[in-house]
């Protein structure tokens, strides 16, 4: 300890240290030290020069908790100007989510099931999958979870749509510029590895918990990554020969995009969308912490009130929904793949 004080003295920084001394509420360590019950580490002659240790030697250096408090202040300072821009931009998301949820719930059960089964059949064209979807929804309705499942499904559909709407163009841009790819990749890594709860913290500050866009943004940020990545990858993997053929016959870069690159990248893009749907589903459960309706709220109730049965059944309902979404999107993917197996 004394070593650091001496170091500041010899560097001639003592006056700077004392002048800029940061005082704050006492920390636990201070209290303990004052009480004379000095911890063993305090007598250590050469502790790691962390912020807290250096603060003791020189008052001008901030403590770690000053740093986190500073970060919070910074966030609160930029929050209001950010809201001016973010609020109107994200308002359509709230509107879309609210309407989608209302729409799904206002449909009579038979109409909802009919529409969903029809969508599943058009996407997958596999009779087995279609029957499975029908049975799954009838089962959910039978145990009175249909309404919750519809809410969850509505959120997923809206969020997936927006993920594709933004993710595919971003992926295309990324495939065209190596520099953009280099810059965006760490950001995408961050989005994917950040613990899901941590997403929610800044969002809660930014938006009111009553607004659907709060969980909408959380889901989209988390689920958009595979759409971007796999679009980028798919376009980069497009057969160079076919692209060259397009070039040789005088295609413009726009023609190359929609006649060669996007169709040939479609299997990969679809795989990305499949992943996006799955990630939306996993996030929508966590987002129930911030008022996202649906099956997740039941899981949350199960945890909060220790209602084992409620939580378990809702959890299994989510699994069922996941299987439905996965099988349908994968059947669609396989249909596309079949058309693409041209390399002999």
Q: Which residues bind other proteins (CB under 8 A)?
A: 239, 241-242, 244-252, 255, 259-260, 263-264, 266, 339-342, 344
Please identify, using beta-carbon distances, which residue of 263 and 315 lies nearer to other proteins: 263
d(CA 214, CA 199) in angstroms, rounded, equals 10
Cα Rg, the chain, nearest whole Å: 27
Cα of 199 vs its chain's centroid, Å: 7
Please identify, using beta-carbon distances, which residue of 53 and 251 lies nearer to other proteins: 251
For the CB of residue 186, give the shortest distance to other proteins in the complex, in Å.
28
Q: Are 62 and 22 in contact (CB under 8 A)?
A: yes
- Please count the helices (runs of H) and the strands (runs of E) in the chain: 16, 0
Please identify, using beta-carbon distances, which residue of 168 and 320 lies nearer to other proteins: 168
State the CB neighbour count (10 A cutoff) for residue 105. 15
For the CB of residue 342, give the shortest distance to other proteins in the complex, in Å.
4
Please identify, using beta-carbon distances, which residue of 60 and 242 lies nearer to other proteins: 242
Please identify, using beta-carbon distances, which residue of 184 and 271 lies nearer to other proteins: 271
Q: Give 191's contacts (C-beta < 8 A, 6+ positions apart).
A: 221, 222, 224, 225
For the CB of residue 61, give the shortest distance to other proteins in the complex, in Å.
49
For the CB of residue 260, give the shortest distance to other proteins in the complex, in Å.
7
Please identify, using beta-carbon distances, which residue of 23 and 342 lies nearer to other proteins: 342
**Where do we find the tokens 């197996």?**
341
Among candidate residues 272, 237, 248, 210, the one with its CA nearest the CA of residue 343: 237
Among candidate residues 226, 225, 192, 207, the one with its CA nearest the CA of residue 291: 207
d(CA 94, CA 215) in angstroms, rounded, equals 9
Q: Please give the structure tokens belonging to residue 301.
A: 């109730």
């Amino acid at each position: 300890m004394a070593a650091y004080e001496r170091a500041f003295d010899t560097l001639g920084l003592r006056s700077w240290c004392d002048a800029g001394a940061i005082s704050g509420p006492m920390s636990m360590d201070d209290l303990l030290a004052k009480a004379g019950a000095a911890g063993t580490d305090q007598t250590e002659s050469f502790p790691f020069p962390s912020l807290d240790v250096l603060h003791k030697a020189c008052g001008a250096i901030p403590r770690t908790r000053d740093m986190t408090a500073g970060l919070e202040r910074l966030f609160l300072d930029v929050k209001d100007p950010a809201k001016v821009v973010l609020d109107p931009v994200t308002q359509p998301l709230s509107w879309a989510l609210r309407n989608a949820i209302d729409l799904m719930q206002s449909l009579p059960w038979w109409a909802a099931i009919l529409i969903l089964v029809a969508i599943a059949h058009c996407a997958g064209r596999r009779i087995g999958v279609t029957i499975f979807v029908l049975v799954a929804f009838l089962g959910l309705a039978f145990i009175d979870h249909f309404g919750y499942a519809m809410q969850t499904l509505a959120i997923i559909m809206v969020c997936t749509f927006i993920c594709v709407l933004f993710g595919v163009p971003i992926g295309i841009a990324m495939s065209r510029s190596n520099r953009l790819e280099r810059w965006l990749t760490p950001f995408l890594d961050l989005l994917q590895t950040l613990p899901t709860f941590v997403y929610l913290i800044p969002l809660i500050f930014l938006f009111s918990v009553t607004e659907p866009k709060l969980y909408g943004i959380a889901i989209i940020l988390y689920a958009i990554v595979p759409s971007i990545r796999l679009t980028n990858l798919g376009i980069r993997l497009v057969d160079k020969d076919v692209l060259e053929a397009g070039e040789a016959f005088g295609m413009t870069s726009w023609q190359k995009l929609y006649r060669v690159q996007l169709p040939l990248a479609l299997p990969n893009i679809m795989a990305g969308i499949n992943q996006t749907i799955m990630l939306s589903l996993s996030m929508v459960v966590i987002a129930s912490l911030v008022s996202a309706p649906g099956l997740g709220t039941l899981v949350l109730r199960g945890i909060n009130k220790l209602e084992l049965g409620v939580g378990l059944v809702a959890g299994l309902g989510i699994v069922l929904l996941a299987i439905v979404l996965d099988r349908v999107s994968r059947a669609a993917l396989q249909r596309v793949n079949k058309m693409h197996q041209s390399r002999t």
